[in-house]
Structure 1
Amino acid sequence: MEHDLDYRDQVFINFRDFFGLSPDHAYRWVDLKQFCLPSTIWSDAQLLGALIRHDQFRDDYAGGGVDPTGMRHGPYWLDRITVNAYEPLDEATALNILHVWVSQYGELPQTLELTLERDVHALVRAATSRYRLKVLGEDSLHDWGGVHGEFHELALIDRDTHSLALIVAADD
């Protein structure tokens, strides 16, 4: 399938890698997928639509990985996610969502804090637009969509670097 966004790379931050043998990682992780914007100017809504149509968006985030013919995205049926399922937010709100989620069980190891700052928070700050996937409700959950204790998704558009980042922060 040809795509309007060019998939660039993925960064996976598994909290377990930073906590050693301690269970304090609480099975949390951040998955970051980065895309290059098309060479022509598109509206934010067009870019979010292109993201939703991309094969890399067909990820259940529960260990199965990307399924190009899949029908799931995170806890939701893919067909329930539209451009209107995303709401715009400012930098402070986006950072607060992440801060509340990462700090809910106490302090983080400094190396994890530095990694999150470099790989995630810096992208939130640099973005020219930020969007959050709304909670879509139980009727949008797929057959085993409740496996995540929490599921937070941000789409960050950075027109200065011609990139779009999809950030999923969740636990299982």
Structure 2
Amino acid sequence: MGLMLSDSMINAKVGSEVGDFGRSYYFYLGVQVRLTFQDQVFTNFRELDLEHHAFRWVDIKRFRLFWPDADDVHLLAELIGHEQYRDDCAGGGVEAGGLRQGPYWLRNLSPTAYAHIDEAGAKTLLLGWERQCGPLPAALSGRLKCEVRPLVAEATGRYRLKDLGCEVFHDWGGVHTDFHELILIDRAAGTLSLLVTADD
């Protein structure tokens, strides 16, 4: 079961973060947590001969957990401190010293920016996004079923990025019509996946 987040839990955070070639270390309540980037899977609907692609894409970044017993708050904070999180999701790619993540300024993001979501809710969110322009071709649907569905079904903790409002957009944030971000923690597999679905 995923850990429910509260401001009191987040305010208990102490220490600092250091990034080092795709690896970061958080000293959080005296516990060192290590999260290492594993790989990335990117699916661009435009490359799959889809007439109504609506410029949509799915991006999955997977990380290996070296402290799988660390609670969800620690892991969310570790991810936010990781250089792979510093991605504007609009073609600019990862910037080690970047100040943006998705549509928001990085400074506005913390574990409290994420809300717990159950498996049914995550599936409904993703299916609604996938089918907004009608059913997908069998090949694309099968690819998403293989790459995305297991991450949601097997996760022991699921979190979605809240709608934080345009007040905290970065200087050109809001270019995506439909932006969804999920963090999927699988303790059995020792992995954390950052899943983004959007359009450009």
| TM-score relative to the length of structure 1 | 0.96
The alignment covers a number of residue pairs equal to 170
C-alpha root-mean-square deviation of aligned residues, in Å? Answer: 1.0
Counterpart residue type for residue 140 of structure 2 = L
Are residues 1:142 and 2:170 paired?
A: yes
Structure 1's unaligned 5+ residue stretches are none
Q: Which residue of 1 aligns with 2:54?
A: 26
| 1:96-134 Cα distance to aligned partner (Å, 9 max, x none) | 100001101111011110111111111100101100000
Q: Which residue of 2 aligns with 1:62?
A: 90
Q: Which residue of 1 aligns with 2:184?
A: 156
Q: Which residue of 2 aligns with 1:118?
A: 146
| TM superposition shift of 1:19 | 2.3
Moved more, 103-112 or 37-46: 37-46
Q: Which residue of 2 aligns with 1:15?
A: 45
Structure 2's unaligned 5+ residue stretches are 1-18, 25-33
- What SS does the aligned partner of 2:94 have? coil
| TM-score relative to the length of structure 2 | 0.83
| TM superposition shift of 1:40 | 5.6
Q: Indicate the structure whose relative CO is greater, using CA pairs within 8 Å and at least 6 residues apart.
A: 1
Q: Which runs of 4+ in 1 moved over 6 A?
A: none
| TM superposition shift of 1:38 | 2.1
Are residues 1:82 and 2:84 paired?
A: no
Counterpart residue type for residue 38 of structure 1 = F
Choose between structure 1 and 2: higher helix proportion: 1
Identity %: 51
Question: Structure 2: how far apart are the matches of 1:102 and 1:41?
Answer: 33
Counterpart residue type for residue 164 of structure 1 = L
Q: Is the 8 A contact 2:59 2:195 kept in 1?
A: yes
Are residues 1:91 and 2:119 paired?
A: yes
Question: Structure 2: how far apart are the matches of 1:30 and 1:132?
Answer: 15
Q: Which residue of 1 aligns with 2:31?
A: none
Structure with greater Cα Rg:
2
Question: Structure 1: how far apart are the matches of 2:46 and 2:166?
Answer: 29
Question: Structure 1: how far apart are the matches of 2:93 and 2:47?
Answer: 19
| TM superposition shift of 1:146 | 1.3
Are residues 1:100 and 2:152 paired?
A: no
Q: Which residue of 1 aligns with 2:197?
A: 169
- What SS does the aligned partner of 1:5 have? strand
Question: Structure 1: how far apart are the matches of 2:72 and 2:105?
Answer: 22
- Cα gap change, 1:143 to 1:16, in 2 (>3 Å): same
